[in-house]
Structure 1
Amino acid sequence: MTEHASAPAVEKQDLQEALDHDGPEPMLATVFARLAVELHDAEGVEDTVDTVVQFALQAEACTYAGVMLTGLGGWEIGAVTDPLVTQIYQEQIDAGDGPLVAALTNGTTVYVADVATETRWAAWSARVTAYGVGSVLHVPMWAADQLIGVLSLYNGLPDAFSADDEAIAHILARHASVAVAAARDGETMTAAVDARKLVGQAMGILMERFDLDEARAFQILKRYSQDTNTKLRDVAQHLIDTRKLPQ
């Protein structure tokens, strides 16, 4: 594995200078290019979303940050900068209600400027106000037509997020979406390669033990997979570990 030098941390001052500059596009491009390097160096989805929330914590007007991911298995907490975010996330998932749920369900940005006076989600508002949260910003993470997740920013003060903060959050969410999608593809490819290696090793065991050719050894593994309703790679792993086929 090739090691890369860590990119310098991106501070909120860098982004504010870019937004205040007469020509913000080149400066913003430079700032987010540095983030792109960090995301490129991230290993897997977990490392990628952790990079995103740490960037948000440095660059945005937030006290806490988090990423909730979507997938075939439902919603999954990807990364948080504080256990409180996990608690706020989980309570909304359990209740099936709240601004996070709205952002995930509709794929839209949800900004709660003043949590204490929020009326759309009264029960959520009361709980989160008690936790010391004053404002919340949820930004959807889209990759092509697929909702990858939601980036969440929390601040202890009301009205903490400006239009500039929201603009930066949307750019960050786009970078995060692409990076998470790429990381997922990479993990899928790695899992596929690993599965092929396991199956090949298991086939070798059968070929040696029973003097079979490759086609026959594969058919045996496939039949056991179907008969036991077990994934082919798990049948292979079982044979490698126990030298026996599953019953």
Structure 2
Amino acid sequence: MAMDQMAFDADTFARLAVELHDADGMDETVEAVVQFALQAEACSYAGVALVLRGQREIAAVTDPLVAEIYQLQFELGEGPMLTALTEGVAVQVQDVAAETRWPSWTARLAQYPIGSVLHTPMWANAQPIGVLSLYNTAPYAFSADDEAIAHILARHASVAVASARDDETMAAAVDARKLVGQAMGILMERFDLDDTRAFEILKRYSQEHNVKLRDVAQELIDTRKLRGSIDPAGS
């Protein structure tokens, strides 16, 4: 790798680290990742696919055709991105037209201006959480240096995405606690209860009606009542 390219990459990754740190939530984080991939890599298009709560999700793309290619693999149940995601290994397709590992994918991809592909897995807590995907319109576009940079970029992305997921989970938990606290206050005022008894009522209602505690609280706050009846003296 040439010295000027190395300097460019160091500068790019330094700016990436700052931007990912400042990103507000999951969406901005993955958007920053794919935009930096266009600068740091020999790619025409980039995308990130994630596994969220057990579900595969197209998180960010630099062009709608990347989303189409992702969706194509979801529908076919095969393709290099799915292999990278499920096996946690980097997958490179040097010449899409000559690829034989995923015949259905190769045949369908002929409609897109894609010559070469590079998928790099993203990891958190020893589990694959997503894939950084790079596409070029020409075959044999990705060098060994490009693959090395992709791994570095994927590691940066993995840490940032994992952190964003933790932050969103924590924010949701804080929001839920606030809602439950408000709902408890309503019950305490209406039925002259202490906080322990008010919480027990909400919890019992949640269990009896198979509704999440957060949703029970939200319903009580929004409507000032709950479906059915509330028995403050119930056990």
* TM bin (shorter chain): over 0.9
Is the 8 Å Cα contact of residues 12 and 36 (structure 2) preserved in structure 1? no
User: C-alpha offsets along residues 83-136 of structure 1, whole Å, 9 cap, x if unaligned?
Assistant: 111111011011111111111110000000000010111121122122111000
2:2 maps to amino acid: D
Q: Which residue of 1 aligns with 2:73?
A: 92
Is 1:227 matched with 2:208?
Answer: yes
Aligned residues: 228
Q: Among 171, 175, 186, which residue is 1:194 paired with?
A: 175
Is 1:20 matched with 2:6?
Answer: no
Structure 2 CA distance for aligned equivalents of residues 29 and 158 of structure 1: 27
RMSD: 1.6
Percent sequence identity over aligned pairs:
71
Is the 8 Å Cα contact of residues 116 and 140 (structure 2) preserved in structure 1? yes
TM-score by length of 2: 0.93
1:166 maps to amino acid: E
Q: Among 186, 211, 224, which residue is 1:205 paired with?
A: 186
Query: Which runs of 5 or more structure 2 residues have no equivalent in the other structure?
Result: 229-235
Structure 1 CA distance for aligned equivalents of residues 122 and 91 of structure 2: 12
Is the 8 Å Cα contact of residues 121 and 131 (structure 2) preserved in structure 1? yes
CA drift of 1:73 comes to 2.9
Structure 1 CA distance for aligned equivalents of residues 179 and 24 of structure 2: 23
Query: Which runs of 5 or more structure 1 residues have no equivalent in the other structure?
Result: 1-18
Q: Which residue of 1 aligns with 2:225?
A: 244
TM-score by length of 1: 0.88
CA drift of 1:72 comes to 2.3
Is the 8 Å Cα contact of residues 224 and 246 (structure 1) preserved in structure 2? no
Q: Which residue of 1 aligns with 2:233?
A: none
Is the 8 Å Cα contact of residues 103 and 110 (structure 1) preserved in structure 2? yes
Moved beyond 6 Å, runs of 4+: none
Is the 8 Å Cα contact of residues 123 and 130 (structure 2) preserved in structure 1? yes
Structure 1 CA distance for aligned equivalents of residues 65 and 9 of structure 2: 31
Structure 1 CA distance for aligned equivalents of residues 199 and 187 of structure 2: 9
Local SS of the residue matching 1:130: coil
CA drift of 1:217 comes to 0.4
Distance 1:95 1:22, change over 3 A: closer
CA drift of 1:206 comes to 0.5
Distance 1:40 1:238, change over 3 A: same
Is the 8 Å Cα contact of residues 143 and 174 (structure 1) preserved in structure 2? no
1:223 maps to amino acid: R
CA drift of 1:55 comes to 0.5
Is the 8 Å Cα contact of residues 43 and 135 (structure 2) preserved in structure 1? yes
CA drift of 1:246 comes to 3.3
